[in-house]
Amino acid sequence: MNLYSTSLVWFRRDLRSYDHAALSRALQDSARVYCVFVFDIDILDQLKDRADRRVEFIWHSIKELNAALVQMGGGLMVRQGRACEVIPRLAQELGVSAVFANRDYEPQAIARDAAVADALAAAGMAFHALKDHVIFERDEVMTGSNRPYSIYTPYKNAWLKRLTDADLQPHPIAELASRLASPPDTLLPALHDLGFQASDLARLNVKTGMSGAHDAWEQFAQQLSAYDVLRDSPALDATSHLGVHLRFGTISIRAVARHAYYAPGKGAQVWLAELIWREFFHMILFHHPRVAQHAFRTELDAIAWEDRADYFQAWCEGRTGYPIVDAAMRQLNQTGFMHNRLRMIAASFLVKDLHIHWLKGERYFAAKLLDYDLASNNGNWQWAASTGCDAQPYFRIFNPVTQSARFDPEGVFIKRFVPELAELERRDIHTPWNLLPIEQQACGVVLGRDYPAPIVDHEAARAKTLAMFKTSQ
Ligand X SMILES: Cc1cc2nc3c(=O)[nH]c(=O)nc-3n(C[C@H](O)[C@H](O)[C@H](O)COP(=O)(O)OP(=O)(O)OC[C@H]3O[C@@H](n4cnc5c(N)ncnc54)[C@H](O)[C@@H]3O)c2cc1C
> Could you tell me the smallest distance in angstroms from the CB atom of residue 357 to ligand X?
14
Closest CA to 417 of 237, 291, 218: 237
- Compare residues 155 and 281 and give the one whose CB is closer to ligand X: 281
Strands 98-102 and 4-11: parallel
The whole-angstrom separation of Cα 187 and Cα 168 is 34
> Is there a catalytic annotation at residue 274?
yes
| Dihedrals phi, psi of 296, to nearest 5 degrees | -60, -45
Q: Residue 369 CB, nearest distance to ligand X (Å)?
A: 5
Closer CB to ligand X, residue 241 or residue 352?
A: 241
Q: Is 340 considered catalytic here?
A: yes
Q: Which of 137, 274, 420, 439 is catalytic?
A: 274
Burial of 314 (0-12, 13-18, 19+ CB in 10 A): buried
Is 271 catalytic? The answer is no
**DSSP-assigned letters across all residues of 327-382:** HHHHHHHHHS---HHHHHHHHHIIIIIS---HHHHHHHHHHH-TT--HHHHHHHHH
Give alpha helix (H) positions in 123-252: 152-162, 209-221, 227-230, 243-248
| 331 half-sphere exposure, CB direction, 13 A CA radius | 22
- Residues 337, 340, 345, 349, Cα dihedral to 10°: 50
Coil, strand or helix at 3: coil
Smaller CB separation from ligand X, 196 or 381: 381
Nearer to ligand X, 243 or 432 (CB): 243
Is 277 assigned a catalytic role? yes
Instruction: Assess contact for 96 and 123: CB atoms under 8 A.
Output: no
381 assigned to active site? yes
Min separation Cβ 200 and ligand X, Å: 19
Pairing, β 76-81 against β 126-130: unpaired
Residue 54 Cβ vs ligand X, minimum distance, rounded to whole Å: 11
Interface contacts to ligand X, rule CB under 6 A: 231, 239-243, 246, 274-275, 277-278, 281, 340, 343-344, 347, 365, 369, 371-373, 376-377, 380-381, 384
Alpha-carbon span 96 to 90, nearest angstrom: 9
- Shortest gap between Cβ of 242 and ligand X (angstroms)? 5
Residue 289 CB, shortest distance to ligand X, in Å, is: 17
State how beta strands 30-40 and 98-102 pair. Answer: unpaired
The one catalytic residue in 140, 340, 399, 439 is: 340
In terms of CB distance, is 61 or 380 closer to ligand X? 380
C-beta closer to ligand X: residue 7 or 376: 376
The single residue of 59, 159, 217, 381 carrying the catalytic annotation is 381
- Marked catalytic residue, from 85, 137, 140, 277: 277
Which active-site residues does the annotation give? 274, 277, 305, 340, 358, 381
